[in-house]
């Protein structure tokens, strides 16, 4: 099959060898094809193990690369979800557009996480891939960006992967206990019951990457520890993967305290969204302060996620975009008044 290169309307037909995998790629009632149609403004019609794609030549070629990538994923035993479709579209865009004249471009691919429960979890966009590369390269990584970009989920998956490979001996997961108007001491129950509401997103991510029995056993033995940030003072965390989530809600002193807990053989991951700070008015975020003063320190990774990197439901992406546009409009009005 000759790949079209001109900016003109074209049509191609792809034939996949195995009808079962082709059906997985197309999705139930062809909903994966429908997503590709919406994202690329092409038409895609399936018939058995064939699919015909029509549209502008570059977009048709983009759809071809994405569908071939999804077929490879399907034959490897991966479920083809709408998120997988998003990832294939992003990855094929990178391969086809970033280095169009590079013969090795097709060899480039997004980074993956492998755990016993979830082998081959692939990044869904360039920012997530850069994040996973930074986690593999650096002992300390900062990640900032809006909700829904996968910062916490990927960090927990990376931590589980390190634990299962024996690179670290334990996982320590933490969040500052700062929420909307409630204090930890006023919640009922023992300490774990008080802490649970703040750390529920981390528990959920653990359950995704580890068997539930292994999570419970790990928490009983101390191999997995989930604790509020306040409990970190005075400790040295060695041979551990340490994750601080919602770091925008740390004070500058808390952030300094946390960073200096890093011990031998440990990795530290710090995530946050600087636009969602719940600290009292006038109190500076420890995340913003740390990023400012540590920007030139060698050996520290820093990844920035944008609104376009949201990987949750399409509606979440549009909500984040709308809030971002409103914030920019409000900032411009404030500048005009000044």
Per-residue pLDDT of the chain (338 residues; tens, 9 = 90+): 445 545 678 999 999 999 999 999 998 889 899 989 988 999 999 998 999 999 998 889 999 988 998 998 888 888 888 888 888 888 777 765 544 444 444 445 788 898 998 887 888 888 898 999 999 999 999 999 988 888 999 999 999 999 999 999 999 998 887 654 445 455 566 656 666 666 778 888 899 999 989 999 998 998 998 878 888 888 888 999 999 999 999 999 999 999 999 999 999 999 999 888 888 888 899 999 999 999 888 889 999 998 878 776 667 767 877 887 887 778 777 666 66
C-alpha 335/C-alpha 285 separation (Å) is 23
pLDDT of residue 100: 45
Bridge partners (DSSP) listed for residue 143: 271, 303
- For residue 151, the model assigns a pLDDT of 93
pLDDT of 194 reads 62
- Contact between residue 192 and residue 290 where contact means Cβ atoms under 8 Å apart: no
Spell 220-243 as b/e; 16+ CB within 10 A means b: eeebbbbbbbeebeeeebeebbbb
**Res 311: pLDDT:** 74
Write the burial class of residue 253 (CB in 10 Å: 0-12 exposed, 13-18 middle, 19+ buried).
exposed
Euclidean distance between CA atoms 123 and 120, whole angstroms: 10
Instruction: Enter the DSSP assignment of 10.
Output: E
CB atoms within 10 A of CB 91: 22
| 272 touches 247 (CB < 8 A) | yes
DSSP string, 123-162: -SSHHHHHHHHHHHH-SEEEEE--TTSSHHHHHHHHHHHH
Token couple for 233: 């003072």
Q: Which two tokens stand for residue 19?
A: 């009808």
**Hey, what are 191's tokens?**
């300490």
């Amino acid at each position: 099959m000759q790949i079209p290169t001109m900016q003109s309307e074209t049509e191609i037909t792809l034939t996949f060898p195995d009808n079962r995998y082709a059906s997985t790629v197309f999705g139930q009632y062809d909903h994966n094809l429908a997503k590709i149609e919406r994202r690329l403004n092409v038409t895609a019609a399936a018939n058995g193990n064939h699919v015909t794609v029509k549209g502008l030549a570059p977009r048709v070629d983009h759809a071809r690369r994405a569908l071939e990538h999804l077929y490879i994923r399907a034959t490897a035993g991966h479920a083809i979800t709408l998120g997988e479709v998003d990832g294939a579209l992003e990855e094929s865009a990178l391969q086809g557009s970033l280095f169009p004249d590079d013969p090795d471009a097709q060899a480039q691919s997004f980074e993956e996480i492998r755990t016993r429960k979830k082998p081959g979890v692939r990044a869904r966009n360039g920012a997530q891939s850069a994040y996973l590369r930074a986690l593999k390269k650096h002992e300390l990584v900062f990640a900032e960006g809006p909700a829904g970009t996968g910062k916490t989920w990927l960090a927990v998956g990376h931590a589980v992967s390190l634990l299962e490979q024996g690179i670290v001996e334990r996982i320590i997961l933490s969040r500052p206990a700062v929420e909307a108007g409630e204090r930890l001491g006023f919640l009922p129950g023992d300490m774990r019951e008080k802490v649970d509401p703040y750390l529920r997103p981390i528990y959920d991510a653990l359950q995704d990457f580890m068997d539930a029995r292994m999570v419970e056993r790990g928490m009983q033995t101390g191999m997995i520890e989930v604790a509020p940030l306040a409990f970190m003072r005075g400790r040295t965390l060695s041979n551990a993967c340490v994750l601080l989530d919602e770091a925008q809600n740390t004070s500058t002193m808390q952030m300094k305290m946390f960073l200096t807990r890093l011990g031998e053989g440990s990795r530290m991951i710090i995530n946050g969204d600087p636009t969602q700070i719940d600290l009292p008015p006038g109190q500076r975020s420890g995340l913003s302060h740390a990023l400012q003063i540590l920007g030139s320190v060698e050996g520290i990774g820093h990844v920035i996620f944008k609104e376009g990197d949201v990987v949750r439901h399409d509606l979440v992406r549009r909500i984040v975009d709308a809030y971002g546009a409103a914030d920019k409009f409000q900032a411009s009005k404030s500048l005009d008044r000044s």
